[in-house]
Amino acid sequence: MKLDIGTYYFYDIYVIMAKDTAKKPNNAKEYSAESINVLEGLEAVRKRPGMYIGSTGTTGLHHMIWEIVDNAFDEAMAGHCTDIVIKLLPDHWVSVTDNGRGIPVDIHPKLKISALEIVMTKLHAGGKFGGENSGYKVSGGLHGVGASVVNALSTHVKAEVHRDGQVFVQEYKKGVPQGKVKAVGKAKDRGTTIAFRADDTIFETVDFSWKYIVDHLRQQAYLTKGVHLRIIDERPEEERVKDASALKLPKNQYEFYFEGGIGSYVKHINKNKEPKHDTVFYVEKQVEHVLVEIALQYTDDFSESLYAFANNITNPDGGMHVAGFRAALTRTINTYARNKNILKEKDANLSGEDVREGLTAVISVKIPEPQFEGQTKAKLGNPEVKPAVEGVFGDALMIFLEEHPSEAEAIIGKCLLAARARNAAKLARDTVLRKSALEGFTLPGKLADCSSRDATRSELYIVEGDSAGGSAKQGRDRNFQAILPLRGKVLNVERARLDKILTNNELKSLIIALGTNIGEMFDISKLRYHRIIIMTDADVDGAHIRTLLLTLFFRYFPDLISNGHIYVAQPPLFSIKKGKEITWLFNEESLSEYKQKFGIKEEDIQVHEEGDGSFDTEPREEEKPKKGKEKDKTPKLNIQRYKGLGEMNPEQLWETTMNPENRLMKQVTIEDAEKASEIFDILMGSEVAPRKKFIQTHAKSVKNLDI
């Protein structure tokens, strides 16, 4: 799903429908040896798919493609593959073809079966474990579960290998081979094609997102320069129409080829930003077994955009390569500034935070045996990578600054400005948050706090306006629900530094209420509420406020989003009363379905807005039949349309939006930080042209626009 923000959509902030449920007691049987189950082969993968691909939602579904594509890129990084083709096929099939060496098909000396069958059916089997004797010097997959996991979680898989002048084929159902590997013809080329259909009994959906796939694979093409990547959508029209993202990328074929590698990637990331210098810094160098590739450019932004990769695998939690990069960046810029007498003897050194403001950087390392944390590979742990990156980057950056004095001047100027702003922000923060303010000593007066001090149970509703805040305060459960009303539209933090944020009364109240502090002093362990719920009106102004708050959380509290603490309330848009029964509808689509279900015609409906009219289904006085005329047998159906939370009385607000037994909420998560950052920059940044283009491009997809 996508989070509807007013008249726009944040495509890369995905939301999950969440409903509170009570846990029931588990009446377990006697625990004995019979209780111990042994899962063999791929059975374990089908039993616990989340352990291998992260989830069974859209993220896990697309991870199936990445696992197979990563194998093709491993061939490319080994120097054996130049072309990769990904196809979305009818009936939810996907195929990945590369012109690499082809998976070996000869008989394994120990297991006595084809190597292809081993790769496709055995966990922790592959050509990436043998060190110097392995088939790969550099590889993204080190657990050897990629192809076999895809096989286990698919209803059907077909592997076709072109190798040694022949075509070899083997098919599988739910991971089980449907016969031995067979030679079915002659081949003039070489390579591997894996086609699979995800199992719809395991995944929540088997509908792939065209835009998500294109965006991810474009990134991979940047990371492996010189590889020709083609993505083709061959799904029938009815399947493409179901995929909303296909409408936003109307072309059904894309080709990517980047000679500039991650240098081109940095330019792509900064296309909607104002760069501080034209020349993009780029270095590529091998130190022993570690290949280091880094590109960077400073912009007039206030936040850092850093993307780290190891063997083409994204590492959102960083690791040793990021640690080495940051240490070298801070040291080199300070050394250069002092050598040029820009920083005087009495001046303090620039901090890491100062030198990273406005920085866009891509770090890519390729190593023989990467050590990742878990199958999702979020963090790189190889200790030898840190000194390699630090040495290569530090030396190259110093040479760059010496050879490009105008770029160096712009970079140092940006860092000095950030340092002055940081000092001002520190003074403001000390003034606002001193004397244990975050521990409840000076909680904002407008906050109606809950009585519970258990953060895991507590909820904070951020409510638009005093009117809605009043209803929410009266309707809430005081034991665990706190209410913080905000007046008007809060500051757009996309174009504001921390010192300005801390002088804004509404944001200051919110920061104190959260308890985590902000910036370099942020501490998620002090979060006072584990559910932070944005509850705004269902109109354009409410959507704008929601967007502003999401911008704040995304830029300054990203850990709250990544840890699943941010929610968006879903108040109803309509209510229909029949006798004593009230039906609540949450959007226009629900109303259309309701009318269709009960055969209600437009002429039989009266819609009242903003408190106008009653809930009665009896006809109004002017609609009653005159004397001598037959009474109309079909009374008008009165529908109440709510444009503001303040129109609901406390009981209605509790029943529809705040009661854990009934409410619907959307949990905000970030699937693609780069794209999410780009969308925030377009919609909330200072550049008008990208925002205008975005509106023009997506105007036709807007529904229910209030003017």
Q: Cite the active site residues.
A: 464, 537, 539, 541
The first and second tokens of residue 580, run together, are 């004593």
What is residue 297's three-state secondary structure? strand
Query: 110 and 166 in contact (C-beta within 8 Å)?
Result: no
Distances (CA, A) of 313 to 82, 142, 223, 308, 707: 19, 11, 9, 8, 45
**Which letter does DSSP use for residue 657 in this model?**
I
Phi and psi (nearest 5°) for 257?
-155, 115
Instruction: Determine which helix (DSSP H) or strand (DSSP E) holds 509, and give its type and residue range.
Output: helix 505-514
Q: Do the bridges between strand 182-186 and strand 166-173 make them parallel or antiparallel, or are there none, so unpaired?
A: antiparallel
User: How many DSSP H helices and E strands does the chain contain?
Assistant: 22, 25
The first and second tokens of residue 671, run together, are 């699937």
Give the end-to-end CA distance of the chain in Å, rounded to a whole number: 25
Alpha helices in 224-345 (DSSP H): 237-242, 244-248, 262-269, 320-339
Give a three-class secondary structure readout of 6-75.
CCEEEEEEEEEEECCCCCCCCCCCCCCHHHCCCCCCCHHHHHCCHHHHCCCCHHHHHHHHHHHHHHHHHH
What is residue 293's three-state secondary structure? strand
Residue 306's nearest CA partner among 291, 320, 295 is 295
Amino acid at 156: H
- Count how many Cα atoms sit within 13 Å of the Cα of residue 440 in the half-sphere of its side chain: 10
| Residue 613, phi-psi category: left (phi > 0), alpha (psi -120 to 50), beta (remainder) | left
Query: 120 and 130 in contact (C-beta within 8 Å)?
Result: no
Query: 360 and 305 in contact (C-beta within 8 Å)?
Result: yes
Query: 177 and 113 in contact (C-beta within 8 Å)?
Result: no
Instruction: Determine which helix (DSSP H) or strand (DSSP E) holds 194, and give its type and residue range.
Output: strand 191-198
Contacts of 692 (CB under 8 A, 6+ apart): none
Dihedral angle of Cα 321, 327, 333, 339, to the nearest 10 degrees:
-130
How far is it, in rounded angstroms, from Cα 558 to Cα 184? 53
How far is it, in rounded angstroms, from Cα 437 to Cα 452? 18
How far is it, in rounded angstroms, from Cα 193 to Cα 179? 18
What is the strand order of the sheet 359-366 is part of? 281-287, 290-298, 359-366, 305-310, 313-314
Interhelix angle 385-403/405-433, nearest 10 degrees? 120
- Count how many Cα atoms sit within 13 Å of the Cα of residue 590 in the half-sphere of its side chain: 12
Question: In which residue are the tokens 């040029």 written?
Answer: 340
